[in-house]
Chains A and B, each alone.
Chain A
Amino acid sequence: AQKITQTQPGMFVQEKEAVTLDCTYDTSDPSYGLFWYKQPSSGEMIFLIYQGSYDQQNATEGRYSLNFQKARKSANLVISASQLGDSAMYFCAMREAATGRRALTFGSGTRLQVQP
């Protein structure tokens, strides 16, 4: 079974509008962390935002916010006021604490294209 599912291979958004990138996850571990990364065409992985499973509030980092719905096991990324520079691949990832595995498991990614 897929640990991290991103159902949107590609998304378009108009500049200055908001966009939501979907992410659902599967785990039986009560302690886990969810991450979003941006990967531009250069290939570098840019950390955007983190949500811990015990965090009571949704994480926010500037124009990025994470809509965390624990019961539904979803962790959607919301980008407000999209900019042309936001065009990139976006990956949702998870780390589970119980396994002791410190590596991240990534979803298949969503390619976001911001149109002027």
Chain B
Amino acid sequence: NAGVTQTPKFQVLKTGQSMTLQCAQDMNHNSMYWYRQDPGMGLRLIYYSASEGTTDKGEVPNGYNVSRLNKREFSLRLESAAPSQTSVYFCASSEVAGALTDTQYFGPGTRLTVL
């Protein structure tokens, strides 16, 4: 039982390049999330998917797109990377997003640098 896995662990991009961050969970969770973590700002929600087939914007969606490929996988795409997107990206999953005691479980993160 691996929990939440993310690939790649590290990535360096040049401004304007595109890339997709992959996330998968094996806990049969319905909901998945993408966050970015920046120094002194905590974690901010980029996009989330409450259930398979649905996606919604979070706090900082500009410059990103997501795909909920199936129940297990949720990818984050940067179409044209900018230095402001240098960050650590975390994927998370939870059983039922709207449940009162719903707990989110996090992956190990992807450290992205945009030059």
A and B physically associate: no
A residues apposed to B, CB below 8 Å: none
B residues apposed to A, CB below 8 Å: none
